[in-house]
Structure 1
Amino acid sequence: MSSNSEGSTKAIFYALGANGGIAVAKFGAALFTGSNAMMAEAIHSLADCTNQIFLLRGMQEAKKPPDELHPMGYGRVVYFWAMMVAILLFFVGGAFSVMEGYSHLQHPAPLKNATVALLVLGVSVALEAFSLRGAMTEIRKVSGGKPFMQWFRETRQSELMVVAGEDIAALAGLAIAFGAVVLTVVTGNPLWDACGSIAVGVLLMLVAFIITREVKAMITGESAAPETHAAIKAHIAARPEVEHVINLITLQWGEQLMIAVQAKMQPQPSDAALIDAINAVEHSLQTQWPQAKWCFFEPDVVAGQD
């Protein structure tokens, strides 16, 4: 297992453990107190547990070896499961919470045993913070010192991105639910609780939209991260066998990487020597970037020259 994959798996298990415990506690508190915001949060945590199972399934499928129908393997299947997570987060987490909140706006019900709801929300905040801390620890290992939002936009690790997005949404949702319960207790107006459910749903749908946008780019086909692409190009250009890099294409394939190079080579005494030179460059690339499973090299001349 690569270090990136290992880090993503750790983050997913942190989230799964935290969300499993939180979901049980929230459902119990929601049934005990009658809180709509708490029920919305419980549904959200249950959806998050399912999401983590989806991500683990995708990472397992991505390990399948290439076959005749999938000659480049199954690495990009993780993007499909990340998209499924975003859809589940939108509809089961977000839309359901909005509908529940709207229903209770029409038919408000009093909140019972608010102390229990607030206690469960407080414990949930601690567990979600633990999960987010685990995800951020793994992100710092691979981000190269980038600010979080820059890493989020540029990362090709869909699983780690999804877990971080979920954890951030969960903490924000818990803060909203906590505020809704407090306002309901202080004012005696159960409409605050219903509004809290709607606000949690809108938040989840917004996060789901942001995740969907990023995963869509990965499914469409993205290059390696900008710094990796630039480093590969510089590496090829610095090789003594290469005179000039004409074009470079990198394509992220799950954890793996495809590299296609068009370059003008230094003059070689024979065809066999040219092949040896190309092989040497390819070997150096795959030694430096072991995730570069495929390397296609085309010797050519610069356009407009002989």
Structure 2
Amino acid sequence: MAGHSGSRRVIYAALAGNLAIALTKFAAAFFTGSSAMLSEGVHSLVDTGNGSLLLYGMHRAARPADRTHPLGHGRELYFWSFIVALLVFALGAGISFYEGVIHIMAPEPVVNARVNYIVLGLSFLFEGSSWLIALREFRQQKGQQGWFEAIRRSKDPSVFTVLFEDSAALLGLIVAFAGILAAELMDMPELDGAGSIGIAMILGATAIFLARESKSLLLGEPARPEVQKKVLDIAQEDSAVQRANGILSVHIGPQEIVADLSIEFEDHLTVPEIEACIERLEARLKKDVPQITRLFVKPQTTGTWERRRKAIAEASEEG
């Protein structure tokens, strides 16, 4: 749970901001009749619901292992992150696109446009504050990695989901402002509807990206190369190990890794000595690599491991 404190802070900040902004936008849309403002209200409402789902997913993922889920419930966070991406697409993008088309086919002039500008300005300020909090947390997580590399390698979808949602929200506010302003200056209310369609495109692209990343995590991504190397180095240092052949690993949560270690033990060892070696490895990994929550050790010769590794590599290329 401690590893999620930064993620929770980001989500709580986004949740509070989005709820207040959504209510303000809906009120402005009601008084002005702006399609773009209504789409922005839906967008903020969806973001509010998404934040709640992420918190729910984190709560469910923190449950300990039980009889029906012996490896724990860590993947619940990945499941709810995928649901968030679907909601952004189905509700956010879908409703915004529908509103845009309706207002283009049956345009209505925007009244009291000044109210929209005030609301958009305040919304940009609040969204920007939430975005900065998410950005600061993600910077701490990414370290020296590039932005897209950090997102691709990240095992915690909660922070980058909020970051992308807030980024989409800021872009949507700019598009909404441009659509309302153009509709007013050019006396073409259809442009307000076009702003809604622009918001729908932004949300659709965001949803597709988030769904792709969440799907990869849900299917199972391996531990980072540096983590795998550290596990192999620890195994190789034990006097009972002749050779640490390799490791197969999968994340079942941001800080939960199941590892399958292939080891060639010294030939003279007895079964109790091998068991004692495995216990030493488990104790060392629990101290030095706490992300390894489950360890399985398979005694194998180097040749057997190489054949297994080659078969996995060939299957990956065919896929």
What TM-score results when the alignment is normalised by the length of structure 2? 0.90
Q: C-alpha distance in 1, partners of 2:292/2:166?
A: 31
Matched to 1:151, the amino acid is A
Structure-1 residue corresponding to 2:309: none
Please show how residues 119-198 of structure 1 align to structure 2 within 5 Å: 119-198=118-197
Matched to 1:147, the amino acid is G
Partner SS, residue 74 of structure 1: coil
Structure 1 window deviating more from structure 2 (235-244 vs 49-58): it is 235-244
Structure-1 residue corresponding to 2:294: 294
Matched to 2:203, the amino acid is L
Please show how residues 243-282 of structure 1 align to structure 2 within 5 Å: 243-255=242-254, 256-266=256-266, 269-282=269-282
Q: C-alpha distance in 2, partners of 1:134/1:105?
A: 37
Partner SS, residue 251 of structure 2: strand
Q: C-alpha distance in 2, partners of 1:270/1:192?
A: 79
Structure-2 residue corresponding to 1:22: 21
Partner SS, residue 155 of structure 2: coil
Give the 3 Å change call, closer, same or farther, for CA 197–278 of structure 1 in structure 2.
same
Q: C-alpha distance in 2, partners of 1:240/1:259?
A: 21
Partner SS, residue 72 of structure 1: coil
CA contact (8 A) 2:234 2:281 kept: no
State yes or no: 1:203 paired with 2:208: no
Q: C-alpha distance in 2, partners of 1:77/1:129?
A: 29
Structure-2 residue corresponding to 1:59: 58
CA contact (8 A) 1:105 1:191 kept: yes
Q: C-alpha distance in 1, partners of 2:210/2:225?
A: 20
CA contact (8 A) 2:240 2:269 kept: no
Structure 1 window deviating more from structure 2 (30-39 vs 228-237): it is 228-237
CA contact (8 A) 1:154 1:226 kept: no
Displacement of 1:304 in angstroms is 7.0
Matched to 2:260, the amino acid is A
Q: C-alpha distance in 2, partners of 1:116/1:225?
A: 50
Matched to 2:264, the amino acid is K
Structure-1 residue corresponding to 2:113: 114
Structure-1 residue corresponding to 2:80: 81
CA contact (8 A) 1:241 1:281 kept: no
CA contact (8 A) 1:246 1:264 kept: yes
Q: C-alpha distance in 1, partners of 2:206/2:237?
A: 42
Q: C-alpha distance in 2, partners of 1:42/1:268?
A: 71
Q: Which whole-Å deviations, capped at 9, do the CAs of 1:4-46 have from their partners, x for residues lacking one?
A: x111111110110110111111111111111100100000000
Structure 1 window deviating more from structure 2 (292-301 vs 272-281): it is 272-281
Matched to 1:170, the amino acid is A
Q: Structure 1 vs Structure 2: percent identity of aligned residues? A: 33
Q: Which whole-Å deviations, capped at 9, do the CAs of 1:124-165 have from their partners, x for residues lacking one?
A: 111111111111121122212212211111111121221111
Structure 1 window deviating more from structure 2 (102-111 vs 66-75): it is 66-75
Q: C-alpha distance in 2, partners of 1:268/1:114?
A: 84
Q: CA RMSD in A?
A: 1.8
What TM-score results when the alignment is normalised by the length of structure 1? 0.94
CA contact (8 A) 1:177 1:196 kept: yes
Give the 3 Å change call, closer, same or farther, for CA 304–38 of structure 1 in structure 2.
closer
CA contact (8 A) 1:128 1:170 kept: yes
Partner SS, residue 303 of structure 1: helix
Q: Which whole-Å deviations, capped at 9, do the CAs of 1:65-84 have from their partners, x for residues lacking one?
A: 22211111211111111111
Q: C-alpha distance in 2, partners of 1:290/1:204?
A: 37
Structure 1 window deviating more from structure 2 (182-191 vs 242-251): it is 242-251
Give the 3 Å change call, closer, same or farther, for CA 225–127 of structure 1 in structure 2.
farther
Q: C-alpha distance in 1, partners of 2:202/2:235?
A: 45
CA contact (8 A) 1:155 1:225 kept: no
How many residue pairs end up in the alignment? 304
Give the 3 Å change call, closer, same or farther, for CA 26–304 of structure 1 in structure 2.
closer
Matched to 1:32, the amino acid is F
Give the 3 Å change call, closer, same or farther, for CA 21–109 of structure 1 in structure 2.
same
Structure 1 window deviating more from structure 2 (94-103 vs 128-137): it is 128-137
CA contact (8 A) 1:55 1:78 kept: yes
Give the 3 Å change call, closer, same or farther, for CA 259–38 of structure 1 in structure 2.
same
Q: C-alpha distance in 2, partners of 1:95/1:227?
A: 41
Partner SS, residue 260 of structure 1: strand
Q: C-alpha distance in 2, partners of 1:268/1:10?
A: 54
